[in-house]
Structure 1
């Protein structure tokens, strides 16, 4: 893949550098905050080789790339100067977005930059627990202690990482935010909290609270800092602002956080942990069904980010999280659906995408599967939802826990060691294999089912009575050059356009002069009545079908007044173009255009 060209094409079609407020990427997507999403050419981006799809959700314009998203983003950043621009860009005014979208954008932008490192560290902690359980290593060994420090450091000092990324999102001094977080986990403060000693700040008691591994207190503290810093900037002149604003920010925010903000954040954290624990303990199997079935739906709409701080807070407050193992069932069910597609389909492109999707899905990356396969085909996605729900119910009923945060996948299994681990193994196995079986048996319909018949020819019959002529002879360069695809043309003798194949109407043009349809075997066909007849604005045309309607070969699609169109000075030649003809070996006939005559025979390559 040419990452540089793909990045350039994406940059052009999102509206250029001037239309980008901020941009970042996660495991599979480039996420944009655009000034005006209407300036982005979504269709053009989706058609780029290397782009899986485009998602507009949670106030973000998300271009789904897949595993090579990092390389594409690097090129995009170089071309658009994103690193420089992000420091000076003015965010879209807050009142243009609802509160939920702003919150989700803040959470995703805060956690995304170090999510990979956090997942890797979590897996390392899980592996160490496995090594100890298998007697391959002892907790007193030097190797264990060094590796445990490597795995646990990010979680122990999590407030520092969150402070840095949250400050960037809220556009405050990142190093002041980091210093604030570091004060919360400073050894003296940790010791005081461990001993439950109450300090006094000018007579005001400081509640002893441990902030290592915490999430919500530092996010609240940085949010408060985002209001204090601009106020201090206004008070101090330019000559001393760079020193006095950080000085007073720390002098005010550290005690304020320890006395007020931190305890409030800790209280919220405790309530969240207790709430999740209460709901889960009341009906663990039901919680498993809901999270296992609908987690990928949450991912599609981008609202899954709201669960990340909750799950991390659970681990910080309770020492475990009950949701993460259930999510593995949701992830593995998508991988299973990809396996079902891989085994069933004969379409080479679909098989290649499904095969790679199985591998990436097992390791926790499901976006290429969802947007490239299951969601497009619909039924496989439903099969995965059902399987994920059943697998999640099994895991929930065993009350399994995650001892460390990492991305749900097979790699996360060591982090689920302990209570309910056998249920995790059963649940994810059921989710994976059931999704594969259901998809293989019931996941294909219509054009999807027809794609497995790779050796079958599809006949395209005449859409109208008349004289057949080669497409290259029509007086329109767009069609005659075959730039839109191979096909045939007819000089009609009557004013009725009929379906040349059985399929689903994919496009109905308001002017009535053109119809798009997708055959039951996957051929994408454009029928265009006349040349430049769009200028008639629908005059002399009557459309007889609706978008998404299924039609059979020979059904009437459009009625048009042939004589009046000719009298108006327009060429009435009908063009039949297979727009995805690159996927076929196309045989063309020049026989008379009658209802029982085929004009094209399409053989999948």
Structure 2
């Protein structure tokens, strides 16, 4: 797998390097903040080798690539300048608002830390087990060294959050880290631990403990970033490099200690108290709700709103009773994917479900959810049911998390506290989640791709068989023009995905009439819900995509009338789609229509047979099956001889 090739296709798919404001990644997703989301071609991105699915959530375009995300992320840095700090300072056009903005901020700040946070959390959990079973004493120097490695991230969390927050808001990372360092400075800590009455020029300061805290430093760095920008506009170029940091430190450190620190700590504790009260009122009900909803929250990206609460609880109370119930949801979707693997007869789906199950067992659920359970619908519902039961068991057991980390087999030690109380309940809960979901996914069933082929008519079966025999053995065939109008070279289409032939070779037509007919006898393989495009595969295996206009997906089906659906058998010349050319143009969209052989790589070449005006059902393309036939084809057709020179 060439990560640089994938990286180039992803950059092109998101609208090019200049359309990217910033890029971060979490365990499985590339999270793009774009200037203009409408420039991203999600359909092309999802067809990219290595991309599982593309989602828009929390103001970000999220490209899910699974466990290879670090390699793809680094490859993007090699093939583009997207990862340079300067990109993060650009302003998003038509910025995100409301809850989308909040989720975007939280995810951008915490996502870069998830990998090391999970690793440190696992080590911390293992040390908890080691001390509980007296394999290591807390006074042993070995334990002290390893515990420092495990706890340093959490103790100095404000320093790390200062970096990610500054990157998000375009502030100076070094100034932000200095502010965070001031909060953790030994003499400042002594003011709190010794209970010394503290004032700043007569203003009383309520001292807090800021190690492992989240909200205070985030609030401080956000304000610092705006203060810096204002100072840089007003201060002369010759002195701003040291005057701006001076002003930032003099203002922000006291302001954080006086205002943001106490406010952030009180807010974090208040939200945590509300959630803990819900678990105290009915741990069974609260656990069931979180076990059922966690994976749904993940899909929409809003689970980030709870992540700071988990971290805050561990920092303040030394444990968190909310996160364990979410673990049930993870193992439930894992079980559902496993049930799909057992039931399906489709080899490709069985392989996908098997690998997704393995990844999900270690906390990476995106391949299982987006690639298996969610598209099949019933298995996803089975996972929700299993998560509800498991979450209820875990909630009732009072299981606690004693460190941070993505739920999975490797991170189970983080739930093992003093005496192991609640840990058996966790094991029972995740086991129930897995088994119930797997059994329900298997028994409820789903629309298996194998069953669709077996139940289709004989001609569709022949088509499916032909598609599997891709390669040089393809026979040549001709495609009739699906439209009437003026032939346009594909290179002149105002869309790089088509013009670059990234989606395949073909031709384009500026339509003179709003009709699309079948280019040959075959089967409709794709009929988009927004009706702007469709694909037909011939009985010999050539697949042609007809995409009416550019960016017409934004019309949401307006001015289009579809006469077919996916799976329909069609004859050459049969009416597939009608559209209002004038209305589409009046709405500001180009109507030039690319006609692409999407499986071009299965053939020796795709050759145009006409120039100028073309009529509906006139021979348009020659799809050449053998290398030797390509030269012979040029000899047989006068237009081809002309363009070959």
TM over 0.5: yes
Partner in structure 1 of residue 478 of structure 2: 474
Kept in 2, the 8 Å contact 1:516–1:524? The answer is: no
Find the aligned partners of 2:20 and 2:58 in 1 and give their Cα distance: 16
Could you tell me which of 422, 428, 435 is aligned with 2:424? 422
Matches for 1:592-603 after TM superposition, within 5 Å: none
For residues 207 and 97 of structure 2, the distance between their equivalents in structure 1, rounded to whole angstroms, comes to 37
Which shows bigger deviation, 313-322 or 61-70? 313-322
Question: Contact 1:273–1:318 at 8 Å: present in 2 too?
Answer: no
Q: Is the Cα contact below 8 Å between 1:25 and 1:31 reproduced in 2? A: yes
Q: Is the 8 A contact 2:563 2:575 kept in 1?
A: no
Matches within 5 A, 1:185-224: 185-224=184-223
Q: For residue 387 of structure 1, report the CA deviation from its aligned partner.
A: 0.7
Report the Cα offset of residue 317 of structure 1.
Answer: 2.1
- In the alignment, the residues of structure 1 paired with residue 371 and residue 163 of structure 2 have an alpha-carbon distance, to the nearest angstrom, of 34
Matched, 1:269 2:268: yes
Alignment of 1:270-419 (within 5 A): 270-417=269-416, 418-419=420-421
Partners in 2 of 1:207 and 1:89 — Cα distance? 34
Aligned-partner Cα distance in 2 for 1:126–1:443: 38
Unaligned runs of 5+ in 2: 463-473, 483-503, 506-516, 547-559, 577-613, 624-645
SS of the residue corresponding to residue 83 of structure 1 reads coil
Where 2:212 maps in the other structure, the secondary structure is: coil
Structure 1: runs of 5+ lacking an equivalent: 464-469, 485-495, 518-522, 530-541, 561-567, 578-605
Query: 1:178-257 residue pairs with structure 2 within 5 A?
Result: 178-257=177-256
The CA deviation at 1:233 is 2.3
Aligned ranges 1:494-573 → 2 under 5 Å: 506-507=527-528, 547=565, 570-571=616-617
Alignment partner of 1:411: what SS?
coil
Change (3 A) 1:201 1:68: same
Q: Check conservation: 2:206, 2:258, Cα contact below 8 A.
A: yes
Q: After superposition, what is the alpha-carbon deviation per residue over 1:399-418, rounded to whole angstroms, capped at 9, x for unaligned? A: 21111111111222111124
1:197 aligned counterpart, secondary structure: coil
Question: 1:59·1:102 contact (CA, 8 Å) conserved in 2?
Answer: yes
Change (3 A) 1:73 1:385: same
When residues 130 and 510 of structure 1 are mapped into structure 2, their CA distance, relative to the original with a 3 A threshold, is closer
Aligned partners of 1:416, 1:209: CA distance in 2, in Å? 28
SS in 2 for 1:96: coil
Which whole-Å CA distance do the structure 2 matches of 1:507 and 1:391 have between them?
38
How many Å apart are 1:222 and its aligned residue? 1.1
8 Å Cα contact 1:545/1:558 also seen in 2? no
Contact 1:269 1:317 in 2 (8 A): no
Encode CA deviations 1:435-457: one digit per residue, 9 max, x unaligned: 11111221323646557x7xx99
Which residue of the partner structure matches residue 20 of structure 1?
20
**Cα offset for 1:18?**
1.2
User: CA shift at 1:357, angstroms?
Assistant: 1.1
Q: Secondary structure at the match of 2:260?
A: helix
2: CA distance between counterparts of 1:135 and 1:156? 25
Contact 1:22–1:86, Cα closer than 8 Å, also in 2: no
Question: Quick one: distance in 1 between partners of 2:451 and 2:233?
Answer: 66
Q: Is the 1:544–1:558 contact (alpha carbons within 8 Å) kept by the matching residues of 2? A: no
- Partners of 1:472 and 1:268 lie apart in 2 by 69
Equivalent residues in 2 for 1:40-55, closer than 5 Å: 40-55=40-55
**8 Å Cα contact 2:158/2:180 also seen in 1:** yes
2: CA distance, partners of 1:146 / 1:527: 63
Please state whether the residue corresponding to 1:238 is helix, strand or coil: coil
Question: Structure 1 residue aligned with 2:441, among 439, 459, 465?
Answer: 439
1:42 Cα deviation from its structure 2 partner: 1.4
| Distance change >3 Å, CA 155–CA 241, structure 1 → 2 | same
Alpha-carbon distance in structure 2 between the residues aligned to 1:439 and 1:448: 17
1:166-197, CA deviations, whole angstroms, 9 ceiling, x for partnerless residues? 11111111111111111111112222212222
Structure 1, residues 296-342: CA drift from partner, whole Å, max 9, x if none? 11111111111111111111222211122111111111111121122
Q: CA deviation at 1:370?
A: 1.2
Distance 1:335 1:289, change over 3 A: same
**Deviation at residue 245 of structure 1 after TM alignment:** 1.2
- Secondary structure of 1:211's match? coil
How far residue 375 of structure 1 moved from its aligned partner, in angstroms, is 1.2
Aligned to 1:39: 39
Where 2:238 maps in the other structure, the secondary structure is helix
Which residue is equivalent to 2:603?
none
Distance 1:254 1:90 in 2: 27
**Contact residue 402 and residue 415 of structure 2 kept, 8 A:** yes
Give the 3-state SS of the residue equivalent to 2:67 in structure 1: coil
Structure 2 CA distance for partners of 1:394 and 1:472, relative to 1, 3 Å: same
> 1 CA distance for matches of 2:620 and 2:383?
43
Residues 1:193 and 1:462: Cα distance change in structure 2 (over 3 Å): closer
Query: Once the two structures are superposed, what CA deviation does each residue of 1:368-423 show, in whole Å capped at 9, x if it has no partner?
Result: 11111111111111111111111111101112111111111122211112432111
Secondary structure in 2 aligned to 1:205? strand
Partner secondary structure for residue 212 of structure 1: coil
Length-normalised TM-score, structure 1: 0.79
Q: TM-score, normalised by structure 2?
A: 0.74
Shift of 1:558: 6.9
Corresponding residue number in structure 2 for 1:77? 77
Q: Give the drift of 1:231.
A: 2.7
Q: Look up the match of 1:59.
A: 59
Deviation at 1:501, TM superposition (A): 11
8 Å contact 1:508–1:515 — kept in the other structure? no
Count of aligned positions: 527
Q: Structure 1's 155 and 574: CA in aligned 2 closer, same or farther, altered over 3 A? A: same
TM-superposed CA distance for 1:228, in Å, is 1.9
Q: Residues 277, 546 of structure 1: CA spacing in aligned structure 2 closer, same or farther, 3 A cutoff?
A: farther
Contact 1:459 1:501 in 2 (8 A): no
Residue equivalent to 2:257: 258
1:3 counterpart = 2:18: no
**Is the Cα contact below 8 Å between 2:89 and 2:169 reproduced in 1?**
no
Cα 1:446–1:309 change in 2 (3 A) is same
The alignment yields a C-alpha RMSD, in angstroms, of 3.7
Q: 2 CA distance for matches of 1:317 and 1:508? A: 50
Residue 351 of structure 2: SS of its match in structure 1?
Answer: helix
Pair 1:527–1:166, CA change in 2 (3 A): closer
> Kindly tell me: are residues 87 and 52 of structure 1, through their superposed partners in 2, closer, same or farther at Cα, counting changes over 3 Å?
closer
CA–CA distance in 2 between the matches of 1:294 and 1:190? Answer: 40
